[in-house]
């Protein structure tokens, strides 16, 4: 028996509908990948009217995907493509760095370990290692979680400035379960707690009978992913959840250190203050 939320099925490549305007825009990018071109050269290459080509090129330029050089009057690939390529590379780096920690967390906790990345106001499962138990939480790759879903949503909101987090929370919150936090002021207090302690808990707030703990993974000074342990509430009780919080927090810190190498005595945990869930403050002598 498994506990999971069913992902939305995606279209197969054979049955997927294609949008002609998007295909033309992609062909422009592919042509510019080979050489910088004038508008007439792009139109001739794509066999399109000059007016249609201009509209497509100006739209791509508005998003930074192409750039126009008025001197030679040529188009070239834009800087936004480099940013997109960097995001793809960053996700690949995060996944590679997190993989051994996902496996270790499953061995340590017996529960499913998941790597999420932000996706708009929600998140997407980039990688996972599932629990060996017959009764477990499953995590299909590519599955998208909606905004405010689970501990991972709190982690990503906590990475934002207070004002931006409050704007996104707004005045209404979804009630996924009877235990969901639906009052904006209470939810923002929870987000502030996550920001202070460096990890988030979900006590059956997204799925009934499921508890989770998540911690942020950072690279180049920003949160790029979240590492989580998710399990059935009957096994992941209060004591187990606290222990999992420490393990997840330390694993996320290790991935962060690998993605953002710093001098050995200067490493900090994702919370930014070096705090650990189970650490005690030392008395000053």
> Residue 92 maps to which CATH number?
3.30.450.40
Given 50, 77, 104, the domain boundary residue is: 77
Contact 214, 191 (CB under 8 A): no
Q: Is residue 155 part of a domain?
A: yes
Q: What is the pTM of this model?
A: 0.68
Nearest to 111 by CA among 8, 14, 204, 248: 248
Q: What is the pLDDT of residue 16?
A: 62
Integer Cα distance of 172 and 95 in angstroms? 33
Work out the number of other CB atoms within 10 angstroms of the CB of residue 27.
16
Integer Cα distance of 84 and 79 in angstroms? 9
70 and 200 belong to one structural domain: no
- Residue 126 — φ and ψ, nearest 5°? -90, -35
CA–chain centroid gap for 97, Å, is 15
Q: What is the pLDDT of residue 100?
A: 96
127 and 238 belong to one structural domain: yes
Provide the 3-class DSSP secondary structure of residue 200. Answer: strand
Integer Cα distance of 141 and 17 in angstroms? 23
Contact 244, 149 (CB under 8 A): no
Token pair listed for 167: 């704007």
135 and 255 belong to one structural domain: yes
For the stretch 72-104, pLDDT in tens is 999 999 888 877 776 676 677 899 999 999 999
For the stretch 131-178, pLDDT in tens is 999 999 998 888 999 999 999 999 999 999 999 999 999 888 999 999
| One-character DSSP codes across 44-110 | HHHT--HHHHHHHHHHHHHTTSEEEETTTTEEEE-HHHHHHHHHHHHHHHHHHHHHHHHHHHHHHHS
Contact 145, 139 (CB under 8 A): no
133 and 94 belong to one structural domain: yes
Q: What is the pLDDT of residue 271?
A: 41
Looking at the 3D structure of the chain, how many domains does it have? Answer: 2
Q: What is the mean pLDDT of each run of 10 residues along the chain (285 residues)?
A: 44 65 92 92 93 94 92 90 73 89 96 92 91 92 92 96 93 94 96 96 96 94 93 94 96 92 47 46 40
Task: Classify residue 283 by its DSSP letter.
Answer: P
39 and 131 belong to one structural domain: no
Q: How many residues are recorded in the chain?
A: 285
Q: Is residue 125 part of a domain?
A: yes
Q: Is residue 70 part of a domain?
A: yes
CA–chain centroid gap for 215, Å, is 12
Nearest to 217 by CA among 162, 163, 158: 158
196 and 132 belong to one structural domain: yes
213 and 234 belong to one structural domain: yes
The side-by-side arrangement of strands in the sheet containing 122-129 is 144-145, 122-129, 112-119, 222-232, 210-219, 200-203
Q: Is residue 186 part of a domain?
A: yes
Integer Cα distance of 232 and 181 in angstroms? 19
> Residue 73 maps to which CATH number?
1.10.10.10
Measured between alpha carbons, how far is residue 124 from residues 33, 46, 203 in Å? 30, 35, 20
Contact 233, 269 (CB under 8 A): no
* C-alpha dihedral sign at 163, 168, 172, 177: negative
The β-bridge partners of 219 are 222
24 and 139 belong to one structural domain: no
Q: Is residue 13 part of a domain?
A: no
Domain of residue 33 covers 20-77
């Amino acid at each position: 028996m498994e506990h999971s939320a069913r992902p939305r099925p995606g279209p197969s490549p054979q049955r997927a509908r294609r949008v002609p305007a998007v295909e033309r825009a992609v062909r422009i990018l592919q042509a510019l990948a080979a050489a910088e071109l004038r508008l007439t050269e792009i139109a001739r290459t794509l066999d399109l009217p000059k007016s249609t080509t201009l509209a497509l090129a100006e739209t791509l330029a508005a998003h930074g995907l192409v750039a126009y050089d008025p001197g030679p009057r040529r188009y070239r690939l834009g800087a936004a493509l480099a940013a997109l390529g960097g995001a793809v590379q960053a996700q690949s780096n995060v996944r590679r760095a997190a993989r051994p920690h996902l496996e270790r967390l499953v061995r340590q906790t017996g529960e499913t370990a998941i790597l999420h990345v932000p996706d708009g106001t929600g998140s997407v499962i980039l990688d996972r290692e599932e629990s060996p138990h017959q009764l477990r939480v499953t995590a299909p790759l590519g599955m998208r979680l909606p905004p405010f879903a689970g501990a991972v949503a709190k982690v990503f909101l906590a990475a934002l400035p207070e004002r931006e987090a409050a704007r996104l929370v707004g005045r209404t919150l979804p009630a996924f379960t009877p235990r969901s936090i639906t009052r904006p002021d209470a939810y923002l207090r929870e987000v502030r707690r996550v920001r202070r302690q460096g990890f988030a808990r979900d006590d059956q707030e997204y799925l009934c009978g499921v508890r989770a703990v998540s911690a942020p993974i950072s690279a180049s000074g920003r949160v790029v992913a979240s590492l989580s342990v998710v399990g059935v509430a009957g096994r992941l009780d209060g004591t187990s959840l606290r222990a999992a919080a420490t393990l997840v927090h330390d694993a996320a810190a290790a991935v962060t250190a690998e993605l953002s190498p710093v001098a050995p005595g200067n490493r900090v945990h994702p919370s930014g203050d070096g705090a650990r869930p189970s650490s005690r403050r030392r008395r000053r002598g």
